Structure 1
Amino acid sequence: MRVGYVSTNYSLGCKADKTIKLSSLSEERVLKVSSSNLLCLKNILEWNLKHEILFFRISSNTIPLASHPKFHVNWKDKLSHILGDIGDFIKENSIRISMHPGQYVVLNSVREEVVRSSIMELKYHADLLDSMGIEGKIQIHVGSSMNGKEESLNRFIENFRKLPSNISKRLVIENDDKVFSVKDCLWISERTGIPVIFDNLHHSILNNGESLNDALSLVRRTWKDRPMIDYSEQEPGEKPGVHATTINEENFRRFVNEVDEVDIMLEVKDKEISALKAVKVLKELNKLD
């Protein structure tokens, strides 16, 4: 297994997800902040490699405001050198990469303007990965349940089939904790070929009676390569679904004893600190890739 964490490393003192206000949008500002984000991303990946962390979720803010209608910066050409350098580092060291656009990406919205803006945001993510010359998955939720679940699932499939290939080939869907369970994601996958990311915390809240192993076995069939899964724990005293500040090593050990041949993305607030704990556990169990 590989283990990873999301977008930020608190040990390094740099940020790979700086953004800018729309009122400050200019080519100079975009290129300056984007360059800073990319240099920090390279530092994070180098740090991760030293600590045997070979899975990482790149921030959606790497190129700030890149999908906004007022954005007209040719970042792919002007930042090509550093993008290529990062991509080469990722490929040379077999680092697995994912991205996860935010809550405003709703591919199955009933509002056409939301679908259009969602596709523009997905295009930016695909363009960023393409500019690095790397494989990488773009992870989203199924989205809206407006007009009922069945119609919502069909809207997702209809809009997915309209996507450019550089987006559709990267897209993966994740079960959520409110509406769309693993079973619903599998229904979409059967009709589209989209891989399904299994989220253990969401599954513990919303499921159709499947055990963890049964659900993961079904999800595994949707992948041609090793499945990516999301792992998090419930924060004590908070409402269901709130991610824990850090992983509990014993809980994580029990979890990985139940699963094999997956890459685990930690959705935990202390980021690389929990990733280091996870690496330690995987080494003890002789399960670290």
Structure 2
Amino acid sequence: NIHVGGAYGDKAKAAGRFVTNFRALRPPIQARITLENDDKTFNAIETLAIAEQVGAPMVLDVHHHAVNNEGEDAVQLWPRIQETWLQRARRYSAEEPAANLPPKIHVSSPKSETDPRSHADYVEVGPLWAFLQGIAPVTPQLDIMIEAKMKDDALFRLMDDLKRMDGVTVVNQASVMI
């Protein structure tokens, strides 16, 4: 999982260089790369366009999207993001078992109002819950990677918060169904 990278004064040229360099990679390497939006340079819509162009799945970082966006709603972007995962599965399923993995997102919360880009100790359930409710009707399975300073404790607290939500069924200590 990688970010597109820096803009170096010209975001369009930087995106073009990324695409050129990605396409120069051997197909088995391309098949294992996912692209993630970042909190400063390439936002979700820009990263998604590049992911679609090179045929790589996109990992939506919900926190990064909250601090770096053009006003678009992450839930509205989700069908296109999910399609990047489905396209990889169709393209590589025969020769690349990892291609059949479910879509992934990254979640974290801002450390503070004055430091919104840094990760907090724990994940606030509200923004994640709103996103999950929005995508649940079209998303049969989703892997969520937590980026929080308290690591496993953040997972356990998030699971406690999620199990209090209407419509959540706890499957095990780290999985829920909505």
Contact 2:107–2:123 at 8 Å: present in 1 too? no
Change (3 A) 1:214 1:251: closer
* Aligned partner of 1:286 among 155, 169, 178: 169
Give the 5 Å matches for 1:1-289: 139-224=1-86, 225-260=101-136, 261-283=141-163, 285-286=168-169, 288=176
**Structure 2 length-normalised TM:** 0.75
> What TM-score, normalized to structure 1?
0.48
Judged with a 3 Å threshold, the aligned counterparts in structure 2 of structure 1 residues 155 and 232 are, in CA distance, closer, same or farther, namely same
* CA spacing shift, 1:251–1:188, aligned 2, 3 Å: closer
Which structure has the larger Rg? 1
Structure 1 residues 201-257: Cα deviation after superposition (integer angstroms, max 9, x where no partner): 111111122112112232111112521000011112542211111123455444433
Q: 1:142 to 1:151 in 2, by over 3 A?
A: same
1:265 and 1:163 map into 2 onto residues whose CA distance is 26
Q: Distance in 1 between matches of 2:118 and 2:70?
A: 21
Read off the aligned partner of 1:172 and give its amino acid letter: T
Taking every aligned residue pair, what percent have the same amino acid on both sides? 31
Say which structure, 1 or 2, has more relative contact order (CA 8 Å, 6+ apart).
1
Q: Cα–Cα, structure 1 residues 191 and 249, in superposed 2: closer, same or farther, change >3 Å?
A: closer
C-alpha separation between the residues in 2 aligned to 1:147 and 1:235?
A: 28
Question: What number of residue pairs does the alignment pair up?
Answer: 151
Classify 1:176/1:249 alpha carbon distance in 2 versus 1 (closer, same or farther; 3 Å).
closer
Inter-partner Cα distance in structure 2 for 1:183 and 1:222: 13
**One-letter amino acid matched to 1:256:** L
Task: State the distance in 1 between where 2:158 and 2:85 align.
Answer: 24
Whole-Å Cα distance in 2 between the matches of residues 165 and 280 of structure 1? Answer: 41
Stretch of structure 1 that moved more, 219-228 or 155-164: 219-228
The code of the aligned residue for 2:103 comes to P
Contact kept? 1:249, 1:277, Cα under 8 Å? no
